[in-house]
Amino acid sequence: MTIKTCIFDAYGTLFDVSAAARQAATEPDFPQLAESWSTLAQNWRLKQLQYTWLRAISGAHTDFWQVTQEGLDWALEAEGLNGQPALRQRLLDLYWELEAYPEVPAMLRALKGAGYQTGILSNGSPDMLAGAVQSASLGALLDDVLSVESVGIFKPAAAVYDLVGQRFGHSKSEVLFVSSNGWDAGCAAGYGFTSVWVNRAADPIDRLPWRPAHVLSDLTSIPDIAATA
């Protein structure tokens, strides 16, 4: 089947989740981040994701902003930086202004120019996603932004992937799904999407029953993949 819709995970795929810690580390008010910002960013992201999985399994759903704060609190304590409210608040404020990866605008423009529908499917809450899309000036390049909050469970629940067909009306085989999370790309492949893993860190592939159809180092070639998938 011909690809008609290209759907992207948001955090880590379109938006650089390390940008908040990296930016704060350059600011004179937070010299304590100079040596630890990269580890902090990695732990923040890891705990954020782990908490979504645990909440999905246990039926204890909350919105993504809550797990984002909880993940940050763990990461700060791990670095001995807890008890610093100004630092915590600055990092949280910056999370609403994450940078898009450099290739994202041109890639989305190419997809729109070729006639594809484009969208986001994310664990993020609607207000977080709206802030990120606005900050990165991507609104005109996306047909919709879909949040798990409409179904009350985080990825990789099938009910989340179902949102794409409900919104765009295309079959699973007509959807190209792109994520920087190997587990997300793998589970999306198991769901029936043609999936792409954007493996920016050159990590090993996740040992799951399903594997993405494509593995890339960035998003530049997504329009070519959509045209040939």
Active site residues: 9
Helices marked H in the chain = 19-25, 37-58, 64-78, 85-95, 104-113, 126-135, 158-168, 182-191, 222-228
Half-sphere exposure of 168 (CA within 13 A, CB side): 28
| Residue 132: partners with Cβ closer than 8 Å, 6 or more residues away | 10, 11, 15, 96, 97, 98, 124
Distance between CA atoms of 175 and 5, rounded to whole angstroms? 5
Q: Do the Cβ atoms of 104 and 14 come closer than 8 Å?
A: yes
Distance between CA atoms of 142 and 112, rounded to whole angstroms? 8
